Amino acid sequence: AQSVTQPDIHITVSEGASLELRCNYSYGATPYLFWYVQSPGQGLQLLLKYFSGDTLVQGIKGFEAEFKRSQSSFNLRKPSVHWSDAAEYFCAVGVNDYKLSFGAGTTVTVRA
């Protein structure tokens, strides 16, 4: 069975600084890859997704993610963080069996 690991439980970053969230997956083939964001008490919002093709994917809110097959990783980045980016971020993997496996999430705190 596939698994998704988000090594960082909590990250604190200064406003205006860059942000990188790590995601590693375990699966034999190349899966579909997703990043979601969740504000407190809200549902999950899709930031971006990777199916195939260009390994650098652009998403909403200025986020991007890079798929690295050799490292089984799909890290999320943002060049300059805004206070509104404080939230919980989830990486997810799909293998075309109509289900997603989610990582445990990374909470991002933005300090002024």
Partner 1 sequence: DGGITQSPKYLFRKEGQNVTLSCEQNLNHDAMYWYRQDPGQGLRLIYYSQIVNDFQKGDIAEGYSVSREKKESFPLTVTSAQKNPTAFYLCASGSLDTDTQYFGPGTRLTVL
Nearer to partner 1, 54 or 112 (CB): 54
Q: Which amino acid is at 2?
A: Q
Distance CA 32, CA 67 (A): 10
- Min separation Cβ 81 and partner 1, Å: 22
- Min separation Cβ 98 and partner 1, Å: 6
> Which residues does residue 92 pair with via DSSP β-bridges, in sequence order?
34, 102
Distance CA 21, CA 85 (A): 12
Q: Of the listed pieces 22-30, 56-64, 79-87, 94-102, which binds partner 1 according to CB under 8 A?
A: 94-102
Structure tokens, 49: 């997704």
List of residues contacting partner 1 (CB under 8 A): 9, 32, 34, 36, 41-46, 49, 51, 90, 94-100, 102-105
